[in-house]
Amino acid sequence: MVREIVKDVLVLGRHSEPCTKNDRQLFKDMEDTLAAHADGCVGIAANMIGVHKTALAAFIGDEILIMVNPVITDRSKQVYETEEGCLSLTGVRQTKRYEAITVEYRDKKFKLHKKTFRGFEAQIIQHEMDHFEGKII
């Protein structure tokens, strides 16, 4: 189900808790909501649809990848400055991102993966993971 995007910074500022296997509906709703905003949005965090759980949905390649309870286990020394927008905010803001990150995460069936992402894909994941900490750009 496509859910409404939260824009209240007080709600977005709350920390997220780990997902459990009971959160399957959340993963589906995140997929549906990101697909509905595919023109101009590349990722969402669960709290952007009002659920304070550590799950994100991101366009990786042409597909929506759901990352459940992701943890960054390694990051490049190289950092770059960039501008980002967010569906929950208006305009773009300046930020710094790591060029590459290695992430341990579960897929929506709770299978464990470990993968290195670079460039724009790494940037999307870092942005969405900041939402888990209540950080907005």
**128 in catalytic set:** yes
Burial of 90 (0-12, 13-18, 19+ CB in 10 A): exposed
**Least Cβ distance, residue 101 to Zn ion (angstroms):** 17
- Which one of 4, 63, 128, 133 is the catalytic residue? 128
Nearer to Zn ion by Cβ, of 21 and 40: the residue is 40
Nearer to Zn ion by Cβ, of 68 and 86: the residue is 86
Count of residues near Zn ion by CB under 5 A = 1
Which residues have C-beta within 8 Å of that of residue 124, sequence separation ≥ 6? 42, 43, 58, 59, 60
**Least Cβ distance, residue 85 to Zn ion (angstroms):** 8
Buried b (16+ CB within 10 A) or exposed e, 14-30: eebeebeeebeebbebb
Instruction: Say how far apart CA 5 and CA 70 lie, in whole Å.
Output: 22
**Least Cβ distance, residue 131 to Zn ion (angstroms):** 6
Interactions with Zn ion, residue window 48-107 (CB under 5 A): 86
> What are the catalytic residues?
128
Positions in the binding site for Zn ion (CB under 5 A): 86
